[in-house]
Amino acid sequence: MLQTDVKIRVRYNETDKMGIVHHSNYVYYYEMARTEMMRRMGISYREMEERGVMLVVREVHSVYYAPAHYDEILNVRVRMLPDPKVKVTFEYEIFNEAGTLLNTGQVVLASVNATTRRPCRVPQWFLDLSREERTLME
């Protein structure tokens, strides 16, 4: 399974009056970690779109265990489940600096043709990049 850890510092504008991260920001944290994982694989969203494939959000699931606070550094762990077909599934765990699990989540993306916006199989070159990255991690 492909996995990446990304550090994110909680910014003031992501918090409520009590200094706690608003629940809606966790989806942004997921996207930031997923984008970084893809960069480490050797591809960006922009490059994917230029190659004719888009990954669009189909499902988001998020579970909150404890709050994150302003100025904390969070560790967002993202895993891409192996061998995607049309759907690509990413799982997330978010920890604070003390190692406390704050949140878990899952995002399912659908691979679509950038021109027709119709579902399509995940391209072979994407699968090859993810396999190469998994091999490097082992």
The pLDDT score that the predictor gives to residue 1 is 73
Q: What is the pTM of this model?
A: 0.91
Token digits for 20?
């706690």
5 is catalytic: no
Active-site entry in 16, 71, 83, 128: 16
Q: Which of 70, 71, 61, 56 is nearest to 103 (CA)?
A: 61
Give pLDDT tens digits for 1-45.
Answer: 789 999 999 999 999 999 999 999 999 999 999 999 999 999 999
pLDDT band at 83 (very low <50, low <70, confident <90, very high): confident
Domain coordinates of the chain in residue numbers?
Answer: 2-137
Distances (CA, A) of 35 to 11, 17, 72, 116: 19, 29, 21, 23
Kindly report the CATH number that applies to the domain delimited by 2-137.
Answer: 3.10.129.10
pLDDT tens digits along 95-130 = 999 999 999 999 999 999 999 999 999 999 988 887
